[in-house]
Amino acid sequence: MNNQTGWSNPGYGRLIAEASQSGDLAAFTERRYRREMKIGCCLVAMVFGVATSSLAVDELALRLQPALEAITPDGLLAHIKILASDEFEGRAPGTKGEELSVKYISDQFKQIGLKPGNPDGSYMQEVPLAGIKSEPRMAFSVGDKTIELKYPDDFVASSARLQPEIRVNNSDVVFVGYGVVAPEYGWDDYKNADVRGKTILMLINDPAIPDPKDPSKLDDKMFKGKAMTYYGRWTYKYEIAAQKGAAAAVIIHETGPAAYPYSVVKSSWAKENYEVDAPNKNKDVIEVRSWITLDVARKLLAECGQDFDALKKSAISKEFRPVGLNAKANIDIKQQIHSFKSHNVIGKLDGSDRKLQDEYVIYTAHWDHLGRHPELQGDQIFNGAIDNASGVASVIQLAAAFTKLNPPPKRSVLFMATTAEEAGLLGAKFYAEHPLYPLEKTLADINIDTVNPWGKTRDIEDLSDNNSTLDDMLATAAKRNGRQMTPNSQPEKGSFYRADHFEFSKLGVPALYTGGGKDFIGKPADFGQQKKDDYTAHHYHQVSDEVNPEWDLSGAVQDIDLLFEVGYQVANGDKFPEWKSGTEFKSKRDKTMKK
Ligand SMILES: [Zn+2]
């Protein structure tokens, strides 16, 4: 760990830097401020009086300063080291890793002085889950030729239905383009095709429609151009396939549009997976959901006398119609199911305002990761140090920071470590569907999933796509701290739909989700991008996501400080954060708030 500045609290610099246009002056004032701090509050005010022009900033700075001191690189690292240790076995729900994780986190919440977050007096919300181990077989027959697929190198397949065997026999195969029905864009890939009982094959992401004026770009008016909409997510594709009555939905993997290589699909799916164990045993979802590799898809389509590239091209038109393939699918999935209780861990800091204390701001980070794979050679443990021991460590430190405020914020603040995010945001989904405090009184969810471990940056990335007023608050906080909020640099990845806050958003709660910056102080210009690319390619969802002695968590602290400020402002503010017009979730929120 190397805190480059040598300051124990990276919080001061930002406040002073904001007050001054000159970097040198800021550094000078920071040193001076720290010296004065030891002398007393009056002097602090004087120094601030010199350095700043706005009294409001002085007051805010003074009020937040003791809290921000609780957020430190060493503090973060200490939590990460424990949560990501081999002893925690990769933190799979329902394992010894869960026991150790939920105990550690709830002990921390208790020690910090949070109250039990569950009104039943505990720090836990029980989440009924089922673990499913699948042994899938999949083959396509074309004429008298059979194409057997190799699991998991060629395909993955599973079912969320809680039954011991799933069989799809001799099912017609239909290519349905992107598999999207989006009335607001006048788009319907299914047209009136009857796909009941059939196996549908589709492309990942949302339709990539070129701009009529400049075909080298995507049309901003359709599916938000380059950005991914919810229609591009695999979860959506399986949901609509179920509504259409298909038996199996098979997504053709492509690295670019999926935003991750097939190896990520393989390691995430070819293992025990989890579902919420609903009373109906999930009978309402699609029987088989599957991915196949692009190579297998090309081969299958060629056998059927079709060409993948030509089909893909035809799918970017509103006129596209499903294409029946002269192939039959045979899929058999043997499932070992075990039901168990997993847990969201939740702590609460009561608001100080009698009228507002039953309104809530919530911070979330998932504690779970991918567990261990005994069949792997050598290292078998998915330590998930960045994903997401780092986020949980951040939430623990945020909780500690909030308890240092005197008085506490007007509204109550909830701190939650969710389970089973990696299996499809299940802990967050369960909370959102069974909230312990009403969602219409929940002002915001601020979610942390991975932090920047490579030092300080001038920027912070807005992965919430500027879709609510929370993003404006973040921009203001960043500016106040001499930093800059930058737009999502890869909106095509659909990051907003891929982490826990999305389950809150789906039900209307505005959410904030950020990524570490890329513009590193004192590093070459391409350093940030390089580090991100390296993580995605070599460590994301791999056993190598481990604590690295070269980390510098001072940048993570900068970012958490900003999330602290935004949460604080919401918890103390005059009004509820709101979705901006045109966002997918605004009408849902408006409806809930009217009730
Ligand atoms: Zn994660």
- pLDDT tens-digit map of 335-349: 999 999 999 999 999
Q: How far is CA 33 from CA 50, 71, 521, 559, 560, in A?
A: 11, 19, 22, 22, 22
Q: Which of 100, 76, 74, 73 is nearest to 368 (CA)?
A: 100
Q: What's this model's pTM, rounded to 2 decimal places?
A: 0.79
pLDDT value of position 48: 39
Q: Are strands 360-366 and 288-292 parallel, antiparallel or unpaired?
A: unpaired
Q: How far apart are CA 384 and CA 366, in angstroms?
A: 11
Measured in Å, residue 495 CA sits from the centre of ligand 1 at 11
Q: How far is CA 41 from CA 33, 36, 307, in A?
A: 11, 8, 73
Cα Rg of the chain (Å, integer):
25
Q: Which two tokens stand for residue 267?
A: 């390691």
- pLDDT tens-digit map of 424-476: 899 999 999 999 999 999 999 999 999 999 999 999 999 999 999 999 999 99
Q: What percent of the chain has pLDDT over 90?
A: 76
Q: How far apart are CA 158 and CA 312, in angstroms?
A: 25
Let me know: does 163 contact 315? Beta carbons within 8 Å: no
The neighbour count for residue 213, using CB atoms within 10 Å, is 7
Vertex 439: Cα angle to 438 and 444 (nearest 5): 130
pLDDT value of position 185: 87
- 3-class SS at 177? coil
Vertex 456: Cα angle to 6 and 68 (nearest 5): 65
pLDDT value of position 35: 35
- With a cut of 60, say whether residue 545 has pLDDT above it: yes
Measured in Å, residue 215 CA sits from the centre of ligand 1 at 35
Q: Which of 441, 416, 582 is nearest to 501 (CA)?
A: 416
Measured in Å, residue 401 CA sits from the centre of ligand 1 at 23
Q: 320, exposed or middle or buried, with CB in 10 Å at 0-12, 13-18, 19+?
A: buried
Measured in Å, residue 366 CA sits from the centre of ligand 1 at 7
Measured in Å, residue 420 CA sits from the centre of ligand 1 at 10
Q: Which two tokens stand for residue 152?
A: 């998991």
In this structure, of 30-39, 277-286, 340-349, 549-558, the range with the lowest mean pLDDT score is: 30-39
Q: What is the mean pLDDT of the chain?
A: 89
Q: What is the DSSP letter of 439?
A: G
Measured in Å, residue 477 CA sits from the centre of ligand 1 at 25
Strands (E), 308-356: 323-349
Phi, psi (degrees; rounded to nearest 5) at 361: -115, 140
pLDDT value of position 56: 65
Q: 522, exposed or middle or buried, with CB in 10 Å at 0-12, 13-18, 19+?
A: exposed
- pLDDT tens-digit map of 123-169: 999 999 999 999 999 999 999 999 999 999 999 999 999 999 999 99
- 3-class SS at 14? helix
Question: What number of CA atoms fall less than 13 Å from residue 425's CA on the CB side?
Answer: 20
Measured in Å, residue 263 CA sits from the centre of ligand 1 at 16
pLDDT band per the 50, 70, 90 thresholds, residue 262: very high
Q: Which of 310, 285, 261 is nearest to 541 (CA)?
A: 261
User: What single-letter amino acid sits at 76?
Assistant: L
- With a cut of 50, say whether residue 512 has pLDDT above it: yes
pLDDT band per the 50, 70, 90 thresholds, residue 5: very low
Measured in Å, residue 421 CA sits from the centre of ligand 1 at 7
Measured in Å, residue 296 CA sits from the centre of ligand 1 at 29
Measured in Å, residue 389 CA sits from the centre of ligand 1 at 9
What residues have CB less than 8 Å from 189, skipping those under 6 apart? Answer: 176, 177, 178, 179, 180, 181, 202, 315, 320, 322
pLDDT value of position 376: 87
Measured in Å, residue 204 CA sits from the centre of ligand 1 at 21
- Specify whether the backbone of 67 is left (phi greater than 0), alpha (psi in -120 to 50) or beta: alpha
Measured in Å, residue 312 CA sits from the centre of ligand 1 at 31
Question: What number of CA atoms fall less than 13 Å from residue 421's CA on the CB side?
Answer: 30
Measured in Å, residue 542 CA sits from the centre of ligand 1 at 12
Measured in Å, residue 552 CA sits from the centre of ligand 1 at 20
**Among positive and negative, which fits the CA dihedral 176, 181, 182, 183?**
positive
pLDDT band per the 50, 70, 90 thresholds, residue 587: confident
Measured in Å, residue 391 CA sits from the centre of ligand 1 at 8
pLDDT value of position 583: 77
Measured in Å, residue 478 CA sits from the centre of ligand 1 at 24
User: What single-letter amino acid sits at 547?
Assistant: V
What residues have CB less than 8 Å from 42, skipping those under 6 apart? Answer: none
